[in-house]
Structure 1
Amino acid sequence: MNLRKNILTALLLAIGFILHQVVPGILAGMKFDLMLSIMFVSILINSDFKNSMLTAVIGGFITAMTTTFPGGQIPNIIDKFVTCVLVFLIIKIIGKYKENQISVALISFVGTIISGTIFLTSAFFIVGLPAPFKGLFLGIVLPTAVTNIFVTIIIYNAVRVAIKVSGAKFVSN
């Protein structure tokens, strides 16, 4: 993997850490997971499987460290890993259309739904849920999915402009 791409991923995940840290737990300890937006941008900018796995592992551990969900550490790691693999596959399937703003929005929405579903399901089996699945899904996952559409588009466009202005040679795979 290219060192520049690794550094970009690390910087994006550092921003994701800050966003995840400052967002408070809202419903039964669940919070809006803005780290997902950062992870999606990282995978969109560098569509390499190794980068996706790096993003999954680091993103999973960061969200596990900053979770407010009771017992949410292991479910966070599981959900980030599975979500990154599935988002990577979605990006590979859509190919050249991944840079379209509508595609970025759909990837963000679908990826957040996948992540929330995996998180809640794994938390249900590992530690139990502090509230009904449907309530947590409707109260946190869906609003987060809508929020992440806008956050992902803004961050994705900002990163693309920064790369263009800096003259960095990033070739999307």
Structure 2
Amino acid sequence: MKLRKFIEAGLLLAGGFVLHQIMPPLIAGMKPDMSLLMLFVVILLYPERDLVLVSGLAAGMISALTTTFPGGQVANMIDKPLTAFTVLGIVLLAEKLTVLKQFKLRLGLIGALGTMVSGSLFLGTASLIVALPQSFAALFTAVVLPATLANTVGLYFVYPVVAKIKEQLPTTEVVSNDKAA
């Protein structure tokens, strides 16, 4: 795996960190995790198992460091890698299903399902660690569903921009001038 892919993924996840920081809490100290949006972009650009694992772990650490939810540190570290592999599965499955050949439909599915899986895993894990401040259903409705809408719509705007920028980046190859004597 090329180091360049890891660097690009890191930069995108750093952008996700910024989005996560500026998002205000909605209810009970929970705020939609907009860093998921950038994790989804990374997976769409590089659907490779090793990079998905590292990106999921990095997104989990970033979210764990910035969470305002009690018990959210552990929940994020569990949720993000599992969500990353779920989204990778959706991406790989979508390539094989003729029904999902239309890319816009695929983006919507990834944004919606990925965010709902992440929110469910987060809330489920957090409920095992600490008592939720409100019911699972109330938190899912008040936080996860708005985040699902935001991530899905955001993916339609962000992914094409990032893909276009990536397409225009120069590719560099290391050329060695060393000659065997």
Normalising by the smaller structure, the TM-score range is over 0.9
1:103 maps onto 2:110 in alignment:
no
Alignment-mate amino acid for residue 45 of structure 1? L
For normalisation by structure 1, the TM-score amounts to 0.93
1:78 maps onto 2:78 in alignment:
yes
Q: Which residue of 2 aligns with 1:122?
A: 125
Structure 2 distance, partners of 1:157, 1:98, is 16
Structure 1 distance, partners of 2:102, 2:4, is 20
8 Å CA contact 1:112, 1:148 repeated in 2: yes
1:165 maps onto 2:168 in alignment:
yes
Structure 2 distance, partners of 1:99, 1:167, is 28
Q: Give the superposed CA RMSD.
A: 1.5
Higher Rg of the two aligned structures: 2
Moved >4 Å (runs of 4+): 96-99
Alignment-mate amino acid for residue 160 of structure 1? A
Alignment-mate amino acid for residue 167 of structure 2? K
For normalisation by structure 2, the TM-score amounts to 0.89
Identical aligned residues as a percent: 40
Structure 2 distance, partners of 1:94, 1:166, is 27
1:139 is aligned, of 137, 142, 150, to: 142
Q: Which residue of 1 aligns with 2:176?
A: none
Deviation at 1:166, TM superposition (A): 2.1
Deviation at 1:99, TM superposition (A): 7.3
Structure 1 distance, partners of 2:123, 2:155, is 22
Count of aligned positions: 169
Gaps of 5+ in 2: 173-181
8 Å CA contact 1:15, 1:38 repeated in 2: yes
Q: Which has the higher contact order (CA 8 A, sep 6+)?
A: 1
Q: Which residue of 1 aligns with 2:40?
A: 40
Structure 2 distance, partners of 1:42, 1:109, is 16
